Amino acid sequence: MPALRIIIPAVVAAALATASSASPIAEQTAMRHAKGSFDVSTKPVEQDKAEGSTLGRFALDKTYHGALDATGKGEMLTVGTEVPGSAAYVATERVVGTLDGKAGSFALVHRGAMQGKDVSMVIDIVPDSGSGALKGITGRLVITVVEGKHQYALDYVLPD
């Protein structure tokens, strides 16, 4: 089973490397943009291999750098198939720190799937999850991985 613990995060990392999505909130006038890098570690919690697929559960720990100076903690559920390059994941994550100098927290919900080079990934801020100076925040996060380095771009709106 040790190989499976490496394969699932690697499949998700491959999905991250090629994923992109446009923000559905981009048409709002108060759109703000934050960019930077982040470090992530995944720790396998559970694996369940059966005919046709492997279910996995992982603990997530992140450190965001740049406009988002924060830590993230969460859980990721994965499904890997017997076909290399086919997988899916969902995750929830709480982010605590500062965003463009405003202190608070918010939660993210991740949804991703890949089949070969076809990848879809959406990471949204959970509605009404903002606290502190980030209360009321809405938005979408896009992750890219270039040469093993994780980058984020966050399009967000904060009420006045």
Q: If we measure between CA atoms, which residue out of 156, 106, 98, 109 comes closest to residue 135?
A: 106
CA contacts within 13 A on the Cβ side of 74: 20
- Domains of the chain, by residue range, sit at 2-157
* pLDDT greater at residue 109 or residue 23: 109
Mean pLDDT of the chain: 87
Give the containing element (helix H, strand E) for 11: helix 2-18
Mean pLDDT of 88-100: 98
Q: Does the pLDDT at position 24 exceed 90?
A: no
According to the model, what pLDDT value does residue 9 have? Answer: 55
Beta strand 131-132 pairing with 138-146: unpaired
**Using CA atoms, how far apart are residues 27 and 72, in angstroms rounded to an integer?**
28
CATH topology for 2-157? AOC barrel-like (2.40.350)
Q: Is the model's pTM score more than 0.85?
A: no
**Using CA atoms, how far apart are residues 84 and 4, in angstroms rounded to an integer?**
12
Sign, CA torsion 122/77/79/6? positive
Q: Does the pLDDT at position 73 exceed 80?
A: yes
pLDDT-based confidence at 110, cuts 50/70/90? very high
Q: Out of 24-38, 78-92, 138-152, which region has the weakest mean confidence (pLDDT)?
A: 24-38
Phi, psi of 11, rounded to the nearest 5 degrees = -65, -45
